[in-house]
Amino acid sequence: MSRTLAAIAAFFMTALTVLFVTPSHADDTLTCRMGPVVSIHIKKIDCPLTKYKDKFPYGAVAHNTTTNQYLFGCFRKFDENIIEIQWAGGDTSGIPANCFLLGKPQEFKGEF
């Protein structure tokens, strides 16, 4: 990865991290815990990945609390029961919508 591309990626990662964790935005971020280490956060902010924003209009981020790494993506409501997330690395996940219920974060107990 070139230095310029790495710098741009770092900028977007920092900007999105601020958007997801700033207290004024914390109230409308929905969280699904994917086990003791990883959580996925979704929010109705513009998709930060231009190549996916037509199909996946909103922002998502996965956070690994052990390594403190973030993976950014975009999401859409696939149907009444599934939130579909397109990750920056190219993978797509379908998460049950009830994992993102309002209130305290829910833990996903199913299989992929």
**Global pTM?**
0.70
* Helix/strand/coil for 109: coil
Q: What is the 3-state secondary structure (H, E, C) of 42-77?
A: EEEEECCCCCCCCCCCEEEEEEECCCCEEEEEEEEE
pLDDT interval class at 24 (50, 70, 90):
very low
* Residues in contact with 43: Cβ distance below 8 Å, sequence separation at least 6, in sequence order: 19, 20, 25, 28, 29, 30, 58, 59, 60
Tens digits of residue pLDDT in 30-60: 999 988 999 999 999 999 999 999 999 999 9
Give the residue extent of every domain in the chain.
Answer: 3-107
Tens digits of residue pLDDT in 52-102: 999 999 999 999 999 999 999 999 999 989 999 999 999 999 999 989 875
